Chain A
């Protein structure tokens, strides 16, 4: 009787353990996000562009140090901030980095590069 109780209890504990670990496959995030989404929100709220540039440059350093891919859009967003604050070379550098990491962005980045270079209206 005692023995059966003990074996049933062992079973129960083993099952409980399985239950606990069963669904938890290690979740892996594809990207480090830093403050990218916050900076986008602060951009829409009209906050300081310089502060956003500083925060994103810091995020980029952290991502590069950790050898993690930069999330889609971050370099293009940073490029836009540089273009708005008159740093054309930095704007171009970041837009080209976006295009190099994500070829899906080519059509749009080429359009931005043209726009920031000539400051002409779109077709």
Chain B
């Protein structure tokens, strides 16, 4: 009995020492840290998914994680309208405008280029799942330099246990706010994918921005 308890105690101690440690990543943040962007322009997402909702859905859930990370996020719908009113009707065209021009019109420090890879139901043998996956690139609009890139996926089939902490809280917040009014499963899952993709404070994720008290706390 005593031995078992000692082993358990030792195991708990080891778990405690390793539990909170984030895995070291070789992600190179040097350009990002030098750039210090304050504001982010989210360009209309390019979508490779057949569902026409994919791009507007992803665009409408991008603001929450970026703003919670500490950035000023330009209002996505007015920005979308500005593109349309100037003849830029498709996301591919918006994403190929030169950075100098984007900076001049919107005044943002950086732009986020999102590509939606999957959006919607994937039918498997025994069940179907709603999957959303997306890539994102953060580019400095003053220099054209790429500051960060990432990828994330979310699925209705996974266990929606987000492990607490800030990321878990943001995921619940994103999901809860969508559940209230929009009963659209793809859009709910897009909210989760967006939080995973665009939150700060996890390995290989975005850095905190100036509105977050943890700004410049990352090593």
Q: List chain A positions with a Cβ less than 8 A from chain B.
A: 1, 4-5, 8-9, 11-12, 15-16, 18-19, 22-25, 27, 29-31, 33-38, 40-45, 71-74, 76-77, 79-80, 98, 102, 104-108, 111-112, 121-122
Contact = CB atoms under 8 A, between A and B. Distances in A.
A55 B166 CA distance: 27
Interface string B185-219: 00100010000000000000000000110000000
Given A11-B9, A38-B181, A106 B61 contact: no
Q: Interface size bucket, B side?
A: 35 or more
B165 A33 contact: no
Say whether chain B's binding surface is mostly helix, strand, loop, or mixed. Answer: helix
A37 B63 contact: yes
A7 B119 CA distance: 54
Contact of B182 (A31, A42, A104): A42
18 contacts: A18-B16, A23-B20, A24-B165, A25-B165, A27-B168, A29-B68, A29-B170, A37-B177, A38-B178, A41-B182, A44-B56, A72-B72, A72-B73, A72-B75, A76-B74, A102-B72, A108-B78, A112-B82
Contacts of A80: 75, 77-78, 81
Given A29-B169, A80-B75, A105-B72, A72 B60 contact: no
A53 to B, nearest CB: 13
Contacts of A107: 105-107
